[in-house]
Structure 1
Amino acid sequence: MKTGRINTVILSLGIVVLLILMVKLFLIDAQQEQSHSLGKLKKNKAQYSAIPDFAAIPDVGEKKQAFFDYLRPAITHHNAIIQDERKFLLATQAHLNEGLSVSEAESFRVQQIASKYQYSLRSVSNDTLETLLMRVDTIPENMVLIQAANETGWGSSRFAREGMNFFGQWCFKKGCGLVPQSRTKGLSHEVAVFKSVDDSVGAYMRNLNSNAAYGLLRSIRADLRAQGKPVKAEDLVYGLMHYSERQEAYIDELLEMLRHNNQYLVENNEQRPAV
């Protein structure tokens, strides 16, 4: 009897071990299949995101096109949000010009938009809305794409691969991002880490539309609007003088990149200025 019970226990344990091994083998196969399906993707160590391994694309033209195509949806998305905000502000301004009062709901949304673009709005008036509208405006797609290419070496930089940061944006709280290997002694800034390319593009656009350093960019854009002219990257890029310590050399480099990469900046044979 004892021997029979022992055999039964041993048999049961054997079945359990066999089942465990089968489950492990199944999970390993599934992980390998998933890894294969990702192709040439690199995981973001901090946020478990992934971007294409652009550096692994041997053809330069294909690499550039792939990089631009990867960023375009996020740029389109955030420009659409800005355009919606701008339309609302223009409609509110039209109400005031018609002698109508601003509702509480309108005033609340205006305050929300002003806060997003770091504009202190004490009252909703024609003048304050006009000032706010200088900040709430779209960014030309071509300029965004070229700056991202310049700042990341066409998506190959450490900050793009590990931090989803495509525009070299800084943060200033210890541990907030990635520490630059070439950071000057005595400085404490880090390169911000984002959860997605969408977050990176959104933060970049808010920076250009709110930071005092880019007031010239916003003035150029507002002047073009006032003259009824399209807002093009070639005009707006001069407002990026303070984006880099290289200043004029940085602007010249961006302009050269715009000219040299024009064929890859065209989608469906149609360029997209800021709408």
Structure 2
Amino acid sequence: MKTGRIGSFILALALVILAIFSLRLLLIPTIDEPESIVTQLENAIDPVTQVPDFSAITDVAEKKRAFFDFLRPIVQQQNAIIASEREFITDMLAIVENGNALSDSQSAQLNQIFDKYLYAARNVDAKSLNSLLKRVDIIPESMVLIQAANESGWGSSRFAREGFNFFGEWCFSNGCGIVPSSRGSGKTHEVKIFPSVDASVSSYMRNLNSNTAYNLFRSIRADLRAQEAELNADQLIYGLVNYSERQEAYIDELLDMLRHNAKYLVKADV
């Protein structure tokens, strides 16, 4: 009996030690692994969840300036996130091109960026990282502001006011957004609701940087990068031909808005 009890005690103790060891294996990576660059940047944002009543501003020039001044810092913040991601990818590319291996943490962070921009890479190598850089790039501030003005009616649409949706993005599951009053018979799309204005701008930028419909936009931008030229809204707007069913007419309208609102797109000196 005594031997049996000792054997049972040793077995129980071994199971406890094994459980503790397994728990440590699960917890240590969570504690020690640094927060990813994507998470750090996105968590640093203080969400904007109040939209001014732009329709109450009767002076057209004042309304335009107010609209651009409201969105500009949000656009700049989202572009700063993309620029930081791009810098990280460039650093990782340099490591790979020098024949060195990436750490587990670096690989994990890269995989998170691959996922964010919907790029399925078989291997993390120079080719896949260069392809990723074509997606992870900033979008000219003036282009974002003009398209937001166009899609949201200068911030006065109910989609902007009620759903923080400044770019007319759709979703396709029941209850995911606001049903447009002009939705045709048999259509199921809704205008997506976002938790904040920042989320709307982020989603719009990720859409342009990952959706196959905007391959032309990314190609134009990559060509400008290769020429070491400025990322110019006048040229990049042509890459939005698939953003609207109106296609060329939509591009002409955006270019016209860009020209007519040039003076408001520049932040006034205080």
Query: Could you state the TM-score of these two structures normalised by the residue count of structure 2?
Result: 0.80
**Aligned residue in 1 for 2:254:** 254
Quick one: distance in 2 between partners of 1:115 and 1:99? 24
List per-residue Cα deviations over 1:44-101 (Å, max 9, x = no partner): xxxx943111111111000000000111111111101100000010111111222222
Quick one: distance in 2 between partners of 1:130 and 1:212? 17
**Aligned residue in 1 for 2:193:** 193
**Aligned residue in 1 for 2:94:** 94
Quick one: distance in 1 between partners of 2:146 and 2:268? 18
Are the counterparts in 1 of residues 49 and 197 from structure 2 also a CA contact under 8 Å?
no
Quick one: distance in 2 between partners of 1:261 and 1:197? 22
Give the 5 Å matches for 1:1-275: 49-268=49-268
Amino acid at match of 1:53: D
Aligned residues with identical type, % of pairs: 61
List per-residue Cα deviations over 1:162-208 (Å, max 9, x = no partner): 11100000011000000010111111000001121111101100110
What is the aligned residue count?
222
**Residue 50 of structure 1: SS of its match in structure 2?**
coil
Q: CA deviation at 1:267?
A: 1.8
The alpha-carbon distance between structure 1 residues 147 and 124, as it changes in their structure 2 partners (threshold 3 A), is same
List per-residue Cα deviations over 1:126-178 (Å, max 9, x = no partner): 00001111110001000000000001111111111111100000011000000
Structure 1 runs (4+) deviating above 2 angstroms are none
Quick one: distance in 2 between partners of 1:133 and 1:121? 13
Quick one: distance in 2 between partners of 1:139 and 1:111? 22
Amino acid at match of 1:207: N
Amino acid at match of 2:119: Y
**Residue 185 of structure 1: SS of its match in structure 2?**
coil
RMSD of aligned residue pairs (Cα, Å): 1.2
Query: Could you state the TM-score of these two structures normalised by the residue count of structure 1?
Result: 0.79
Quick one: distance in 2 between partners of 1:101 and 1:74? 36
Amino acid at match of 2:156: S
List per-residue Cα deviations over 1:93-123 (Å, max 9, x = no partner): 1112222222211111110000000111221
- Where structure 2 has 5 or more consecutive residues not aligned to the other structure, the ranges are 1-47
For the pair shown, which has the larger CA radius of gyration, 1 or 2? 1
Quick one: distance in 2 between partners of 1:201 and 1:136? 15
List per-residue Cα deviations over 1:182-235 (Å, max 9, x = no partner): 111111000001121111101100110011100100010001001100101111
